[in-house]
Structure 1
Amino acid sequence: MQDMSKYTQEDLWVWRTLFTRQKENIPGKSSQAYTDALEHMSPVLNAEEIPNFKKINTWFENETKWKLEVVPGLIPVQDFFQLLAQRKFCSSIWLRSKDSLDYLEEPDMFHDIFGHVPLLSNPIFSEFVHEFGKLGCQFLDDTEKLLQLQRLYWFSIEFGVIQEQGKIQSYGAGILSSYSETIQIHEQKANFLDYSIEAIIQKAFRTDIMQEDYYVISSFEMLFESLKKLSLVWNKELTEV
Structure 2
Amino acid sequence: MAVEPVVYGASERPPRGDYARAGADYTCAQNYAAYTEADHDTYRRLYERQSRLLPGLASQAFIDALPSLGERDRIPRFEEVNERLYQATRWELVAVPGLIPEVPFFTLLANRKFPVTDWIRTPEEFDYIVEPDIFHDLFGHVPLLFNPVFADYVQRYGQGGLKAHGLGACEMLSRLYWYTIEFGLIRESEGLRAYGAGILSSSGELPYSVQSPEPQRLPLQLARTMRTRYKIDTFQQTYFVIDSFQQLFDMTAADFSPIYQALKGQPEFAANEREEALTA
When normalised by structure 2's length, the TM-score is: 0.79
- Whether 2:88 is the aligned partner of 1:63: answer yes
Match of 1:167 among 158, 166, 191: 191
Other-structure match for 1:35: 63
The answer as to 2:33 corresponding to 1:26 is no
Equivalent of 1:15 in 43, 50, 71: 43
Counterpart Cα distance in 2 of 1:79 and 1:5: 26
Conserved in 1, the CA contact under 8 Å of 2:89 and 2:148?
yes
Partner of 1:118: 143
What displacement does 1:235 show? 10
Q: Per-residue deviation at 1:152?
A: 0.2
Contact 1:168 1:185 in 2 (8 A): no
2:234 paired with 1:209: yes
Do the aligned partners of 1:45 and 1:51 also contact (CA within 8 Å) in 2? yes
CA contact (8 A) 2:41 2:73 kept: no
| 1:229 has 2:277 as partner | no
Q: Distance in 1 between matches of 2:55 and 2:249?
A: 26
In structure 1, the partner of 2:273 is none
Q: Is the 8 A contact 2:172 2:260 kept in 1?
A: no
Specify the code of the residue in structure 2 equivalent to 1:9: E
Q: TM-score under structure 1 normalisation?
A: 0.91
Q: Distance in 2 between matches of 1:9 and 1:55?
A: 20
Q: Distance in 2 between matches of 1:191 and 1:78?
A: 32
Kept in 1, the 8 Å contact 2:223–2:259? The answer is no
Match of 1:80 in 2: 105
Letter in 2 for 1:69: V
- Residues 154 and 64 from structure 1, CA distance in 2 versus in 1: closer, same or farther, beyond 3 angstroms? same
Give the equivalent residue in structure 2 for 1:155.
179
Kindly indicate which of the two structures has a greater share of residues assigned to helix: 1
Q: Give the 3 Å change call, closer, same or farther, for CA 139–185 of structure 1 in structure 2.
A: closer
Q: CA deviation at 1:8?
A: 0.6
Pairing of 1:70-109 with structure 2 (within 5 A): 70-109=95-134
Unpaired segments ≥5 residues, structure 1: none
Report which stretch shifted further, 183-192 or 19-28. 183-192
The AA in structure 1 aligned to 2:194 is: S
Instruction: Please tell me whether the aligned partners of residues 19 and 46 of structure 1 are also in contact (alpha carbons under 8 angstroms).
Output: no
- In the TM superposition, what whole-angstrom CA distance separates every residue of 1:108-162 from its partner, at most 9, and x where no partner exists? 000000000000010000000001111112232222x211110000000000000
Following the alignment from structure 2 to structure 1, what is the Cα–Cα distance between the partners of residues 259 and 108? 21
Cα offset, 1:210, TM superposition: 1.3
Structure 2 residue 4 is the aligned partner of structure 1 residue 4 = no
Letter matched to residue 151 of structure 1: R
Whether 1:134 and 2:159 are equivalent positions in the alignment is yes
Q: Relative contact order: is structure 1 or structure 2 higher (C-alpha 8 Å, sep ≥ 6)? A: 1
Contact in 1 for aligned 2:176/2:225 (Cα 8 Å) = yes
CA drift at 1:53: 0.6
Bigger drift between 104-113 and 50-59 goes to 50-59
Residues 160 and 216, structure 1, Cα contact 8 Å, conserved in 2: yes
What residue number does 2:8 align with? none
Distance 1:236 1:72 in 2: 35
Q: Is the 8 A contact 2:94 2:116 kept in 1?
A: yes
Compute the RMSD of aligned alpha carbons: 1.8
Segment drifting more, 175-184 vs 162-171? 162-171
Partner of 2:265: none
